[in-house]
Structure 1
Amino acid sequence: MEQPNSLRKKTIRGMLWSFGDLMGNQGMQFLIQIVLARMLLPEHFGLIGMILVFVAVSNSIIDSGFTQALVREPNADQTDYSTVFYFNLAVSICIYVLLYFTAPAISGFYSQPELISIIRVLALGIIINALAIVPRAMYTKDVDFKVQMQANLSASLISGAVAIGMAFAGFGVWSLVSRTLAMNGTQTLFLIFKKKWLPSLEFSGKSFKRLFGFGWKLLLSGIIDTIFNNIYYLIIGKQYSAMQLGYYTNASRFSDIATQTLTSSIARVSYPVLSSIQEEQTRLKQSYKQLMKIAGYVIFPILAGLAAIGEPLVRLLFGEQWVPMTLYFQLLCIAGMLYPIHALNLSILQVKGRSDLFLYLEILKTAIFSALIVTAIVMNAGILGLIAVVILNSYLCLFINTYFSAREIAYPVFEQLRDLAPLYVLALSMSLVVYTAEKFLPFHDLGKLAVLIILGVLFYITGSKILRLQELPIVYNLLLPLLKKFTLVK
């Protein structure tokens, strides 16, 4: 059994490396996105957005829940890894063939003839990604995110250089396609050569049955979740112009930088760590409770703050041509505030082996989300109405997720909401103060942002001390080792 101090150190080390990985990678991607947004047109991003749902669903199918199954499996061996590798590779090839031949139909659906060649080239990334699933699962299982950070940063630099070079040469949308393929290829090669793992010439039906028995429910729930996370690309691409989809695509990716970075860094560390103490009910609840409160304390103010400074931030970074995306970005940030809490609640279901309940919840939430989307379309609510549905759905899902996870670890919904309420109210209060101040500051965008960020940080820290929130010293102690490490490196 792993000792508490050892587990704490492992969790902190993994979280710091995971956060560093995602922040470094997303930060690099963000800088590249800014450069490309200034060189390309919104329509170019819209064309890529039209096929994101197909690529995202394909990647979910390839994974098949095997990553979570391997991470959770205490005694995974070479046979298990080889079995998963060959299955993923075979499925990825089948999906590529399917997309290759259905490309004309997808192109016809959007009335965009150039999508045929874009789909056939971009879909090659599906096969490339399949090759890296097992090495990535190995590193995740060991709570080792240092190598993944190196792989992602290298991929960001190389793919960014390729994309910017092609955009400068006038390749338009193909610079975005090349960026994705270069990213996939670099990550896969780095992980494979660094891990020095090769599959054996064996495929075990027994291993497949055992791993897939746990993973297939996560596969279905993952497909459902992926479809509805990307469904707006399909709806907006069909009903509106490529330009409007381009605004939504960039707003979504911009908000995802903060949302997905913070959510993923916490969720992908919490799953293997909580899995290691899954049989210790009291310890599991306390560890989960602390993780959830830390997640809320960090992520709530970041997303609320970004929403408050949205207009000057978008104008400064992307330029005047992208200002119409500001409101989309602000609303998506508000919706994204609860994503890490959703992820942690769902992690508990995986830790407890309740993949059946995981699937049930996805079906239930999908039915609710579908009804809300249909209502917005029937009412002709437009893109803003569709985004409002995302916000409403996020809050409804909070109650659903917390209700079912509470039964697994004896952490009632009311208790979870009570723990989160002070953090949430403080973050929204800070956001309101910053948003109001932005309307009265006479500075240009850069000076205005500097003042607003300082104001927001001071307000939040002061509020934390007044409310005596325990998360403030905890977060400080979590960041201190990272600051010391960087100081020593320098």
Structure 2
Amino acid sequence: MEPQPSLKKKTIGGLLWSFGDLIGNQGIQFLIQIILARLLLPEHFGLIGMILVFIALSNSLVDSGFTQALIRERNASQTDYSTIFYFNLLISVLIYVILYAAAPSISRFFDEPQLVSLLRLLSIGIVINAFAIIPKAMFAKEVNFKAQAKINLSSSILSGVIAVVLAVAGYGVWSLVLRQLSMNAIQSLLFAISKKWIPSLVFSIASFKRLFGFGWKLLVSGLIDTFYTNVYFLIIGRQYSAAQLGYYTNASRFSEIISQNLAATILRVTYPVLSSIQDEHERLKQSYKSITKLAAFLIFPVMVGMAAVGEPLVMLVFGEKWLQMIPYFQLLSIAGMLYPILALDLSLLQVKGRSDLYLLLEIINKISLTILLFLAVWLELGVIGLITAAILNTYLEFFVNSHFSKREVSYPAKEKVRDLLPIYLLSFLMGAVVWMLGLLVDTTIVIQLLLQVTIGMLFYIAACRVANIAELKTVYGLILSLLKKVRER
């Protein structure tokens, strides 16, 4: 069953603005990251990487699963929003105090004295972020990504300029810290101004219990996922040098620009939309199936293509001092292929209110990852072994997630593999062509990269046309819709 026109229009509009946010915001952040990578040393990024896990876990704790609970709530009230706002703010302050006190111990763990002051300053951003959680949830609930795109773009540009000026002035790692802090502050301020929402002087125990009843499982699963997403920084920072962690940090961020950010873009649009049809089983299944196939069509070839052009891409973007990050970047790109599909499966469980299954899946998947990481460390396989463990675990997660999500929408792993396999195979075929072209072409890096990307795109489009991949027409329709809107203005 096709989505109703109003829902389809709402989804496409949200996707267009969300993709615009991705291209604009992430493009600016990527440009700033390149400039900073050329101005700073790998060790500077490594120092920030050592404390990322603590900042990420803290932000998950502050949110406490309430954002998803509020978005899913059909008729969230001012009392609901105010209650969650005060709770988030209180938790953020408590976490800051804990991190401030724990900073010396964390510094000793990594044997890096600088971490004390770095962590204490960077942790202020946790409190600042708490002020933006409710306005963000309101915008997401309304599927209003136009305002979010403008805010994110503005904060990226302003914080990026601040960071570059400080890096040029010789502030080193502090330019990275102040970049993050200024981004947090600008975002929170702009969200508050745009939404014009002010909390009421009320805290409802009933609201808290109702929302926390759904959100606490998402909180626990979010903490588990956040910890394991950042555990590589912890292991590499402890076992290896700050420079080695710096290579991994930039390789990770570089590869995630497409996979995780594109996944986040799709999820923040589709979650509120799918939540609105959560009780219409057949309609929900068809919408979920279409979104999954579209995500794979867009992300699979990009991630494989990035791995295929990894060497000239890293050389051109970061320069010769970052050569050691090339194999990390290539493997992380392959590891990120399935991330959007896995995230959609978990999002579906949230839509259906199955936060219990969401938590169970996180536990199962992270137990398997723990075993694989333990083997990689025990066998002394190095950073390459750690990333390989992540790749293997994504495939295990795919089948585990599919097994549980099929109960909610009758979309089993067998059917999902049948839908995604043609796109998967065509992506790797395109990657092989692009990689071999790089071996045969003897020219400058820029020309080589342009040839590889152009041939790769044309080959993938032609192959999809021959294989009659329906998503090619869908994307073509989205592009035409976007061009139509541009012309109308």
TM-score under structure 2 length normalisation? 0.99
Residues 68-110 of structure 1: per-residue CA shift (max 9 Å, x gap) = 0000000001000000000000000000000000000000000
1:244-263 correspondence runs (5 A): 244-263=244-263
Work out the CA distance in 1 between the residues paired with 2:250 and 2:3: 45
For these two proteins, the number of residue pairs brought into alignment is 488
Work out the CA distance in 2 between the residues paired with 1:170 and 1:25: 26
Aligned to 1:391: 391
For structure 1, which runs of at least 5 residues remain unmatched after alignment?
A: none
**8 Å CA contact retained: 1:259, 1:339:** yes
**8 Å CA contact retained: 1:19, 1:261:** no
**Counterpart of 2:350 in structure 1: which amino acid?**
Q
Work out the CA distance in 2 between the residues paired with 1:59 and 1:484: 39
Work out the CA distance in 2 between the residues paired with 1:121 and 1:487: 47
Question: Displacement, 1:439?
Answer: 0.8
Work out the CA distance in 2 between the residues paired with 1:64 and 1:422: 39
**8 Å CA contact retained: 2:3, 2:287:** no
Aligned to 2:467: 467
Residues 350-389 of structure 1: per-residue CA shift (max 9 Å, x gap) = 0100000100111111111111111111101100000000
Aligned to 1:289: 289
Question: Displacement, 1:483?
Answer: 2.7
Question: Secondary structure at the residue paired with 1:439?
Answer: helix
Work out the CA distance in 1 between the residues paired with 2:390 and 2:477: 35
Question: Secondary structure at the residue paired with 1:226?
Answer: helix
1:5-154 correspondence runs (5 A): 5-154=5-154
**Counterpart of 1:67 in structure 2: which amino acid?**
T
Work out the CA distance in 1 between the residues paired with 2:259 and 2:485: 25
Residues 175-213 of structure 1: per-residue CA shift (max 9 Å, x gap) = 000000011011110000010000000000000000000
| Structure 1 position 355 matched with structure 2 position 344 | no
**8 Å CA contact retained: 1:23, 1:261:** no
Work out the CA distance in 1 between the residues paired with 2:485 and 2:35: 31
Question: Displacement, 1:486?
Answer: 3.6
1:338-349 correspondence runs (5 A): 338-349=338-349
Question: Secondary structure at the residue paired with 1:76?
Answer: coil
Question: Displacement, 1:480?
Answer: 1.8
Question: Displacement, 1:270?
Answer: 1.1
Aligned to 1:193: 193
**8 Å CA contact retained: 2:3, 2:283:** no
Aligned to 1:276: 276
Question: Secondary structure at the residue paired with 2:201?
Answer: coil
**8 Å CA contact retained: 2:100, 2:119:** yes
Work out the CA distance in 1 between the residues paired with 2:480 and 2:112: 52
Aligned to 2:439: 439
**Counterpart of 1:288 in structure 2: which amino acid?**
Y
Question: Secondary structure at the residue paired with 2:257?
Answer: helix
Aligned to 1:304: 304
Work out the CA distance in 1 between the residues paired with 2:344 and 2:82: 30
**Counterpart of 2:231 in structure 1: which amino acid?**
I
Work out the CA distance in 1 between the residues paired with 2:315 and 2:487: 34
Aligned to 1:376: 376
**8 Å CA contact retained: 2:44, 2:173:** yes
| Structure 1 position 178 matched with structure 2 position 165 | no
Question: Displacement, 1:442?
Answer: 1.1
Work out the CA distance in 1 between the residues paired with 2:471 and 2:365: 31
Question: Displacement, 1:440?
Answer: 1.1
Work out the CA distance in 1 between the residues paired with 2:371 and 2:263: 26
Point out 4+ residue stretches in structure 1 off by more than 4 angstroms: none
Aligned to 2:333: 333
**8 Å CA contact retained: 2:21, 2:153:** yes
Question: Displacement, 1:488?
Answer: 4.8
Work out the CA distance in 2 between the residues paired with 1:104 and 1:458: 54
**Counterpart of 1:167 in structure 2: which amino acid?**
A
Aligned to 2:215: 215
Question: Displacement, 1:22?
Answer: 1.9
Question: Secondary structure at the residue paired with 1:234?
Answer: helix
RMSD, aligned CA: 1.0
Question: Secondary structure at the residue paired with 1:14?
Answer: helix
TM-score under structure 1 length normalisation? 0.99
Residues 17-38 of structure 1: per-residue CA shift (max 9 Å, x gap) = 1111122111100000000000
Work out the CA distance in 2 between the residues paired with 1:271 and 1:479: 22
Work out the CA distance in 2 between the residues paired with 1:481 and 1:168: 43
Work out the CA distance in 2 between the residues paired with 1:261 and 1:485: 24
Work out the CA distance in 1 between the residues paired with 2:329 and 2:280: 41
**Counterpart of 2:42 in structure 1: which amino acid?**
P
Question: Displacement, 1:484?
Answer: 3.1
For structure 2, which runs of at least 5 residues remain unmatched after alignment?
A: none
Question: Displacement, 1:261?
Answer: 2.0
Work out the CA distance in 2 between the residues paired with 1:154 and 1:431: 35
